[in-house]
Amino acid sequence: MASSSTLVASIAFFLLLGLANCKTVKRDVKALNEIKASLGWRVVYAWVGDDPCGDGDLPPWSGVTCSQQGDYRVVTELEVYAVSIVGLFPIAVTNLLDLTKLDLHNNKLTGAIPPQIGRLKHLKILYVPSFSTKAVI
């Protein structure tokens, strides 16, 4: 019994070790850094480190969920809600091509959701009910 527990622990360790050595796809890192620059201090204070999916001892950035895809990680969910974001919809979001969920509700975004949102072929949940826009989605 102890040997099977040791085996399970060893497998878990090596899986976690492999995940720790994974890096996030550069396209997603660039997009999130552009989003970070556009959102202001309310979100940025929780977004530390070079890798939004977590790097070494640092956890993933708040509101960012990632999944492993081969040797890399990709951003699959972005949830930045109720943090009083003001301004235009961050167009860099449309470069997160593996995004399945985007939640920006309870913010004060203005303008239009850019047509490039159609590039997000995996997007299943788009939650922006308090979006102040006059555009048709």
Identify which has the larger pLDDT, 35 or 134.
Answer: 35
**Angstrom distance (rounded) from CA 64 to CA 52:** 7
Superfamily covering domain 23-127: Ribonuclease Inhibitor (3.80.10.10)
Q: Give the confidence band of 136 by pLDDT, cuts at 50, 70, 90.
A: very low
**Angstrom distance (rounded) from CA 71 to CA 44:** 27
| CB-CB contact of 77 with 101 (8 Å) | yes
Tell me the pLDDT tens digit for each residue of 35-85: 888 877 666 677 888 899 998 788 899 899 999 999 999 999 999 887 777
* Three-class secondary structure of residue 80 per DSSP: coil
The pTM of this model reads 0.76
**Angstrom distance (rounded) from CA 42 to CA 83:** 6
Amino acid residing at 125 = I
pLDDT at 17: 40
Tokens 């072929």 sit on residue: 121
**Angstrom distance (rounded) from CA 96 to CA 32:** 8
Please give the structure tokens belonging to residue 128: 């922006």
* Three-class secondary structure of residue 13 per DSSP: helix
Strand partners, 132: 110
